[in-house]
Structure 1
Amino acid sequence: MNIALIAHDKKKDDLIRLVRAYAHILKHHHLFATGTTGKRVAEATGLPVHCFKSGPLGGDQEIGAAVARGEMDMILFFRDPLTAQPHEPDVSALMRLCDVYSIPLATNMGGSEILVRSIEQGDFEARMLDHNDEPPA
């Protein structure tokens, strides 16, 4: 399973805590992240993380393109709702693509824990077999 990890600056420590807590699950999957987040997660956990560009430099859009190509299965995006983001249109576009292609998206610790635990239970196996080039009807 391909899992994208994204976190705004004030939420990076929270995402790292999540990945540490669930490393026993996440180590069996391919992790992708925006630049700074990915580097910090990899350093803190020892897990391999493919890093795209930093979010404001196009990393969110790179992950969005992977979603559109059917290459991403889940996104954990720890957003900071109290700080204005200069790349907010990119964030909104990524969230829209998750809706278009029915990609599970969690934007906080609680939702992320539910999604990661569902991976452990095998709840996403059937969905992974149905990747195609068209969004679901």
Structure 2
Amino acid sequence: MNIALIAHDHKKDDLVAFAVAYKSIFEEHNLFATGTTGLRIMEATGLSIERFKSGPLGGDQEIGSLIAKNQMDIIFFFRDPLTAQPHEPDVTALVRLCDVYSIPLATNMGTAEMLIRGLKEGLLEWRELRKSKNGENNG
């Protein structure tokens, strides 16, 4: 599965810790991340991650493009609800695309725990079926 990892500045430590805790699950999948978040996770885990630009420089939109092409299966986006984001319209657009294309999205640690455990248990196989149905199998 193709998994995106994104975190606002005040949530990066949480996402890095989450990636360390679930490294054995993440290493079985194709990982994508926005700039600094991806670098920090790679340094902490040694996982291979395709990195995009940072969120404010278009990284959120790059991931959104993959969602629109049905090439992204799961998004872990640890958002900071207490800090204004200069690229909030991009964040909103990414969340909207997840809803439009029924892409599982975890925006906090609680939901992320449920989603990663579901992934481990094979409860997201419907994503593979959907890609096969649409003639796409990109990961």
TM-score band w.r.t. shorter chain:
over 0.9
- Aligned ranges 1:1-137 → 2 under 5 Å: 1-131=1-131, 132=134
Instruction: Give the root-mean-square deviation of aligned CA atoms.
Output: 1.0
Mapped to 1, the partners of 2:89 and 2:128 lie a distance apart of 28
Mapped to 2, the partners of 1:31 and 1:61 lie a distance apart of 16
Tell me the secondary structure at the aligned position of residue 130 of structure 2.
Answer: coil
* Residue identity opposite 1:8 in structure 2: H
Question: Which 4+ residue blocks in structure 1 deviate beyond 2 angstroms?
Answer: none
- What is the CA-CA distance between 1:31 and the residue it aligns to? 0.7
Say which is worse superposed, 121-130 or 94-103, in terms of deviation.
Answer: 121-130
- What is the CA-CA distance between 1:125 and the residue it aligns to? 1.2
Task: State percent identity of aligned pairs.
Answer: 67
Question: What is the total number of aligned residue pairs between the two structures?
Answer: 133
Mapped to 1, the partners of 2:70 and 2:118 lie a distance apart of 20
Mapped to 2, the partners of 1:71 and 1:81 lie a distance apart of 27
1:41-97 Cα shifts (integer Å, max 9, x gaps) = 001110001000000000000000000001100000000000000000000000000
* Residue identity opposite 1:130 in structure 2: R
- What is the CA-CA distance between 1:18 and the residue it aligns to? 0.5
Mapped to 2, the partners of 1:57 and 1:127 lie a distance apart of 29
Gap runs ≥5 in structure 2: none
- What is the CA-CA distance between 1:127 and the residue it aligns to? 2.4
Mapped to 1, the partners of 2:31 and 2:123 lie a distance apart of 18
- What is the CA-CA distance between 1:7 and the residue it aligns to? 0.1
Tell me the secondary structure at the aligned position of residue 129 of structure 1.
Answer: helix
Mapped to 2, the partners of 1:4 and 1:18 lie a distance apart of 13
1:13-38 Cα shifts (integer Å, max 9, x gaps) = 00001010011111100110000100
Tell me the secondary structure at the aligned position of residue 5 of structure 1.
Answer: strand
